[in-house]
Amino acid sequence: MSPNNHADREILISRLLNAPRELVWNTFTNPEHIGQWWGPDGFTTTTEVMDVRPGGIWKHVMHGPDGTDYPNYSVFTEVTRPERIVFRHGDHADNVDQFTATWTFTEENGQTRVTIRMLFPTADARNMVVRQYGAIQGGHQTLARLGAHLADSNTPMEATGSKDFVISRVLKAPRSLVYAAFTEQEHMARWWGPAGCQLFGTSMELRPGGSYHFGMRMPGGFTMWGKFAYQHIVPAEKLIFLHSFADEAGNLARNPMDPDWPLELSSTFSFEDHAEGCLLTIRWALLDNATEKEIATFNAAHADMNQGWAGTIDKLDIYLSEMQAG
């Protein structure tokens, strides 16, 4: 379809930025960068979740200069690094059809042209956003702020990924059931761990100050131990704990496969109601005492973590389906 066929439903914003495409891509996909430039003049942005992959979500709040908060919720449908990102957008999980956004990143003689297209369901919907929210002016201001951010000498040219690792998934099961799968020992034993992993020797004391200690038998017979040290629990909503490898007695231990892996990680598992079931969000964060080697190892492993967690959540998804099937 020619773009002219839906020009009356579209907002188009473009800017040529004096920065390499990979850096510009990272400023759009790294929450630490987004918070420093996203939004029109005078706005700030707080990102709760940003999982840039097909099916991942971006949940954030834009704070206006007058103190008004604007909740935003997007679901990514296409991610082609470092060329193109497409997502459906709205203000909450049950409403992501306000418009479809397409971000494209094109190299032009060492610079990068960013083009933002927002396609609305009707011309009236597009015009309302322009009149009520100043969407066109706000879009140009947003990209101008990005240009200033990129020009700032404090912006690292390598634009490394956020220290936090975040992954989310909508599971087709009630929130109470998903929470139970994480907090009842007999459930965890049925699905937790990478593909082919079997748990043994588990013990769970679900309370702040308590712990979950478990052995993992991997394909080929290799065994290792892990531990959750619970810090904060909001039933059916949130689990916060320190996640580590352990020995058989439950003492902290180094990763047997990588001694430079962080000794402990702060883990936050969040459970939210969603139109299709439960939105599960997992966040791993480094502790303040992480060494430079641990930080570098953790940051370099984001792609592997994404693959590993995706496989674990796949196992959970299958287990939840089996439970509900009876």
293-325 pLDDT per residue, tens? 999 999 888 878 888 898 899 999 999 999 999
Tell me the torsion sign for CA atoms 230, 232, 234, 239: negative
| pLDDT of amino acid 168 | 84
Residue 267: closest CA among 226, 220, 317, 216: 226
C-alpha R_g of the chain:
22
Q: In whole angstroms, what is the distance from residue 137 CA to residue 249 CA?
A: 61
Residue 39: closest CA among 59, 16, 65, 20: 65
Judged against a pLDDT cut of 90, whether residue 58 lies above it is answered with yes
pLDDT in tens, 172-219: 999 999 999 999 999 999 999 988 899 999 999 999 999 999 999 998
Query: Average pLDDT over the chain, rounded to whole?
Result: 90
Judged against a pLDDT cut of 80, whether residue 74 lies above it is answered with yes
- 76 three-class SS: strand
Q: At what angle do helices 175-183 and 302-325 cross, to 10 degrees?
A: 110
Alpha helix (H) residue ranges in the chain: 21-29, 31-37, 123-133, 135-151, 175-183, 185-191, 292-300, 302-325
Instruction: Report whether 242 contacts 266 (CB < 8 A).
Output: yes
pLDDT in tens, 114-170: 999 999 999 999 999 999 999 999 999 999 999 998 887 444 444 444 467 888 888
Instruction: Report whether 271 contacts 176 (CB < 8 A).
Output: no
DSSP state of 300: H
Q: Which domains are delineated in the chain?
A: 3-151 (3.30.530.20), 165-325 (3.30.530.20)
| pLDDT of amino acid 35 | 87
pTM over 0.75: no
Judged against a pLDDT cut of 90, whether residue 262 lies above it is answered with yes
Q: Measure the CA dihedral 256/257/260/266, to 10°.
A: -70
- 177 three-class SS: helix
User: How many C-beta neighbours within 10 Å does residue 297 have?
Assistant: 17
Residue 319: closest CA among 225, 174, 156, 181: 181
Percentage of the chain lying above the pLDDT 70 cut: 95
- 240 three-class SS: strand
Judged against a pLDDT cut of 50, whether residue 73 lies above it is answered with yes
